[in-house]
A and B are shown apart, each in its own frame.
Chain A
Amino acid sequence: MGQTRPMTRVQITLGSAEAVAELDEKDAPKTTKWLKEMLPIERQAMHSMESGREVYVVLDTSHGIEEENQTIYQTVGDLIVYYKPAIFVKPKWPRHIRDFLVIGFIYERDSAIRGMSGPLATNLVGKITEGIDALAREAPRMRREGFGKMRISLA
């Protein structure tokens, strides 16, 4: 029997909503290791304009993220890291070859991360286990009233 390692939990704060995610260190060891070193993260939250019910922050880092534990079938509560095409963030020329490293989550169904012309695989780094309902209320409120900052820190 192998020893069970404690699972790293991170706190996600968006406006008045608080949630907790468990990192998938077994299937995404490199990305979660990098993410833990990056924490705490506090950046301007943005809502997806192309992928549905996704809120994300752009990360200011030159660190390269390898493909790991990838999926194109994101579901509610997924915490994901990937390169979002610049066309959906800041359409600076040459917009079709730039991208931004982002971390985000899906707060409701009917969402699928898109690339330039179809599904985009994302690194699945964790799952929101507490507070998804609060995020699912806060994100639409912010769509109406404006987005503030999102903070991700060790729980």
Chain B
Amino acid sequence: MRKLLFELGGTGAVAEMHDDIVPKTCDAVWNVLPVEGMAIHANWSGREIMLHLHGEKILRLPPEGPGRRGTTAPGDIVYFWRSPQMSRGKQLAYSSQFQRELSELAIFYGDPAGGGLAADDPARSGRDSNLQVSTLFATLIDIPKEFAQKCEEVCHNGLQRLVVRRLERSA
């Protein structure tokens, strides 16, 4: 099982990819790594930070795997894509390039809002399910306290650089 390393503010967390469940999504994410950018904190989904993908790293992937109508849980790493017309009003906190179409990695470092349902937002999925893609593709093996603390600080202190890279097996 392939592993990912998330680095934020001098802390790190390791996730395992769900190659057995969503192999195409895992391949696509793996192939654009490393990615880095300024992580922003969620304001609907609870304890989640997001890394917006941009430039050649942007991913527009189809849905894959079992329909995720369940809840989001601490440790979930979700690939999320949103069609421009599904935007939640003005996203002035985002860079202008992300204010409409959005492609991101969502890292749930703690309890989600809405009992875990808020991140899925079925009411906003639209009649055409292709308007929004949300694929759980990895899970943090554990959530180090220091990493969670840094994630929370993004909510209070502003954007922070997040790097996601492959964690290659040592020889």
Contacts and interface: CB of A to CB of B under 8 A. Distances in A.
Interface of A: 44, 46-54, 87-88, 91, 95, 108-110, 114, 116-118, 136-137, 139-147
B156 A147 contact: yes
Interface of B: 40-48, 88-90, 92-93, 110-111, 113-115, 117-118, 155-159
Contact of A49 (B93, B113, B115, B157): B113
B155 A49 contact: yes
Contacts of A144: 40, 93, 158-159
B115 A143 contact: no
Contacts of A116: 115
7 contacts: A46-B155, A49-B45, A50-B113, A51-B44, A54-B43, A95-B111, A144-B93
A138 to B, nearest CB: 10
B158 A145 contact: yes
Nearest to B48: A49
A50 B92 contact: no
- Per CB-CB distance, the 9 closest pairs between chain A and chain B, nearest first, are A50-B113, A140-B92, A146-B158, A140-B93, A143-B93, A117-B115, A146-B157, A110-B89, A145-B158
Contacts, number: 78
B43, B90, B93, B158 pick with most chain A CB within 10 angstroms = B43
A26 B41 CA distance: 38
Given A109-B89, A114-B118, A143 B43 contact: yes
Given A110-B89, A142-B158, 17 more contacts: A47-B41, A49-B48, A51-B44, A52-B88, A88-B46, A88-B113, A91-B47, A108-B90, A109-B89, A114-B114, A116-B115, A137-B92, A141-B93, A144-B40, A144-B159, A146-B156, A147-B158
A62 B41 CA distance: 30
Contact of A50 (B44, B88, B90, B157): B44
Contact of B42 (A46, A49, A142): A49
A50 B93 contact: no
B47 A49 contact: yes
A144 to B, nearest CB: 5
A50 B114 CA distance: 8
A95 B158 CA distance: 25
A39 B123 CA distance: 40
Contact of B89 (A46, A49, A108, A142): A108
A32 to B, nearest CB: 27
A19 B83 CA distance: 34
A69 to B, nearest CB: 25
A82 to B, nearest CB: 15
B155 A91 contact: no
Contacts of A49: 41-48, 113, 155
Nearest to B160: A146
